[in-house]
Amino acid sequence: MTKTKTRAIGDLDKSLPNGVKKTVSQQELLDLKDHGFADEYINKHFKVQRNYTFTQEQVRQSAVRVMYVMAALSQSERARVLRHALKLNEV
């Protein structure tokens, strides 16, 4: 078990500029809850670091593959096709 440094709530408020939230891991979020921080306070001052299984590189590669298929279309035609694809995706 690791020893964590206890800081006053006022110290947390002063450490970051107004409106900026500190990013915390899932484990750090659980530690904050264990130390008695309310969910309202946590949501106001912290954002949870997310882990994605579909990486940014995979998103880029997929986008390139989609654009390759539509290479013969003009930009306005591609935009129209993509808008239609988004509508189909909502169903």
Domain ranges of the chain: 9-48, 56-90
Which residue matches tokens 């006053």? Answer: 8
pLDDT value of position 63: 95
Angle at the Cα of 62 from the Cα atoms of 61 and 64, rounded to 5 degrees: 65
- Residue that the structure tokens 């750090």 belong to: 28
Residue 29: its pLDDT value, please? 79
**Predicted model pTM:** 0.45
Is there a contact between 25 and 50 (Cβ–Cβ < 8 Å)? no
Q: Is the CB of residue 69 less than 8 Å from the CB of residue 77?
A: no
Average pLDDT estimate for 38-46: 80
> CA 10 to CA 15: how far, in whole Å?
9
pLDDT of residue 72: 96
